[in-house]
Structure 1
Amino acid sequence: MLKDSTATACFSTDDVAKAKEFYAGTLGVPILMEQEGALALQFANGTTAFIYLKEDHVPAAHTVLILTGADVEAEVADLKSRGVVFADLPYTDDDGIAREDNMPKTAWFQDPAGNWVAVGENFA
Structure 2
Amino acid sequence: MVDISDAFPGFSVDDVGAARAFYGDVLGLPVEESMGGLRLTLPSGQGVFVYPKDTHEPASFTILNFEVADLGRTVDELNAAGVVTKIYTDPHSFGTDERGIAWGSKTGQGPDICWFRDPSGNVLSLIAQ
**TM more than 0.5:** yes
Q: Deviations over 1:12-48 (max 9, x none)?
A: 00111110011111222111x3136310111212123
Contact 1:6–1:46 under 8 Å retained in 2: no
**Where does residue 111 of structure 1 map in the other structure?**
118
Q: Deviations over 1:37-68 (max 9, x none)?
A: 31011121212322111121111111111101
* RMSD value, Cα: 2.0
Bigger mean CA deviation after superposition, 41-50 or 74-83:
41-50
Q: Cα gap change, 1:71/1:115 in structure 2, threshold over 3 Å: closer, same or farther?
A: same
Question: How many residues are matched?
Answer: 117
Contact 1:9–1:65 under 8 Å retained in 2: no
Q: Report runs of 4+ in structure 1 exceeding 3 Å deviation.
A: 5-9
Q: Give the structure with higher Rg (CA).
A: 2
**Where does residue 51 of structure 2 map in the other structure?**
52
In the alignment, structure 2 segments of 5+ residues that lack a partner are: none
Q: Do residues 28 (structure 1) and 28 (structure 2) align?
A: yes
Identity among equivalent pairs (%): 38
**Where does residue 42 of structure 1 map in the other structure?**
41
Q: In the TM superposition, what are the counterparts of 1:1-124 in structure 2 within 5 Å?
A: 8-31=8-31, 33-35=32-34, 37-89=36-88, 90=90, 91=94, 92-100=96-104, 101-122=108-129
TM-score by length of 2: 0.81
1:52 aligned counterpart, secondary structure: strand
2:121 aligned counterpart, secondary structure: coil
* Separation (CA, whole Å) in 1 of partners of 2:125 and 2:119: 14
* Separation (CA, whole Å) in 2 of partners of 1:36 and 1:6: 16
